[in-house]
Amino acid sequence: MLKRLGFAITTRNLWSSFGFGFGFPPNLPSCTSLQLSSSSTVELRIRTRTIFKVMSASRNSTPVNEKDKQVLQDFKLLNAVNDRYGGVVVEVREPMESALFASVLRASIAQWRQQGKRGVWIKLPIQHVNLVEPAVKEGFWYHHAEPTYLMLCYWIPEGTHTLPANASHRVGIGAFVMNEKREVLVVQENTGRFRGTGVWKFPTGVVDEGEDICTAAVREVKEETAVDTKFIEVLAFRQSHKAFFDKSDIFFLCLLEPLSSEIQMQETEIEAAKWMPFEEYTAQPFVQKHELLKYIADICLAKKDRNYSGFSPVPTSSAFSDEKNYMYFNTRDLNGQ
């Protein structure tokens, strides 16, 4: 038996912690080796000189065939990196049989519990989808999914977990673009709820991951109409709930200055696009019927004709990131103009 850091490990009790349902093999040596790295990654490796296939074994199984024996085999706990909140993060990089993964996962959780860890995050690349079921059976649940991986999580302490929820909002933009003739850039969509309705609307779209609001607004206008623009400010924003797969939604109404006028519509999403007199846009029955659109029209008109100030993007830095990010605020009133 070898003792380190206040816990004891033997080949026999580790065999049990793996969850193997059959008895401890009499010919398994009791020697073990414990390796602890100096980094935040903790790896426990048990070396034995005679290990046989555990997936096919059972309490009443026949003696193991010589072909199934291996001269040297390593069993190790999952490599885990400590996070900032008393938990660990595991990223599975190598393929593994489901049954073996379940056993190693149970042993890993036992060690993390002894170490006082809290949350456990397991990132499973899509090629390791076979490991999802054993993880769920051990008590893990889905946190979020991306095109190439699934993130699962687990809470070790008793009681309600304090792990952060998945992203709760989708972020969208609407672009108010008016030229010197007081014509506003509008489109008719050939997909979605406005398809076939004849409604003219502002160019809209969803902000991509890692994309700034101001950049997304310029991009969406360019993609839908080929008109070049300059972002000026955020005029207003609206929050709604249960909008897209039960996620909440934040929509930013953005003022953009046109830098070109020629329109080439995006045929995959846009049925028509044109410059329309602002009064004609606001006179549409659909705009007059909905309170939100009436507010949008009033805000846009107030910006053009009265003393309305929105929020301009100001590049800033912070203690949370070395990259530049934007703070949106009323720069005119702040500067006393």
Beta-bridge mates of residue 151: 123, 144
Coil vs helix vs strand at 252: strand
The SS3 assignment for 243 reads: strand
Give the span between the Cα atoms of 88 and 118, in whole angstroms: 8
Active site residue 223: yes
Pairing of strands 88-91, 119-125: parallel
173 vs 181: CA distance, rounded Å: 24
Q: Tokens at residue 95, please?
A: 């393929």
CA distance 309 to 330: 6
Distance CA 297, CA 303 (A): 10
Which has the closest alpha carbon to 63: 47, 52, 49, 75? 52
In DSSP notation, 258-315 reads ES-------TTTEEEEEEEEHHHHHTSHHHHH-HHHHHHHHHHHHHHHS----BEEEE
Q: What is the C-alpha separation between 88 and 115, in angstroms, rounded? A: 11
Separation CA 23–CA 59 (nearest Å): 6
Nearest to 54 by CA among 28, 90, 31, 92: 28
How are the residues of the chain apportioned to helix, strand and coil, as percentages rounded to the nearest 5? 25, 35, 40
Residue from 43, 91, 97, 223 carrying the catalytic annotation: 223
Catalytic residues: 223
